[in-house]
Amino acid sequence: MENKKRSFFERLTGSISMKDEQEDLRRYSNELNKDDKKSSNDWIEEEPDEAELAVDVYQTEKEIIIQTMVAGVRPEDLELTIGRDIITIRGKREENRTIDESDYFTKELYWGKFSRTISLPAEVEPEEVEATEKHGLLSVKMQKVDKEKKNSVKVRSI
């Protein structure tokens, strides 16, 4: 049986594509015919421990910029790890409601841990990073390494 990883949007909204739903129903029906002892929840894919964060990555002449939606996440619950050619964004969106599961009609919002590791298209200066959040939009600006930059050093006598 093939395990297809669901997209962040599908996990976020709780939706699956019609084609995947039909394949799952057909597979489930076949498995029930083979073994009547199977539980009715065996075909449901188990959610991963961390969701994958959706991002936009673009560049200007001197910067690489990453933008992602982190609405409902406090800045202290975000962690950015930056190397010269890679960045990892981790966080956790906590649900503070005490609503009984049986009282929900629809439950589509994603709550829990999320992360994303991105290989950068150019080297950046890990010390030259600015991260800001405004209205749920996280923007991370990273200065590109200037490989053309040269420095003259004067030799002095001791």
In a domain, 2, yes or no: no
Q: What is the pLDDT of residue 21?
A: 65
How confident is the model at residue 56, as a pLDDT?
95
Q: What is the pTM of this model?
A: 0.60
According to DSSP, the residues that pair with 141 across neighbouring strands are 65, 130
CATH of the domain at 65: 2.60.40.790
Give per-10-residue mean pLDDT for the chain (158 aa): 62 64 67 53 56 91 94 90 93 83 83 91 92 94 84 81
pLDDT at 100: 85
Residues 91 and 40 grouped into a single domain = no
Strands laid side by side in the 86-93 sheet: 50-52, 112-119, 86-93, 78-82
Cβ pair 120, 142 in contact under 8 A = yes
Name the residue among 62, 79, 70 with its Cα closest to residue 123: 62
Starting at the earlier edge strand, list the strands of the sheet with 56-59.
Answer: 56-59, 63-69, 137-144, 124-134
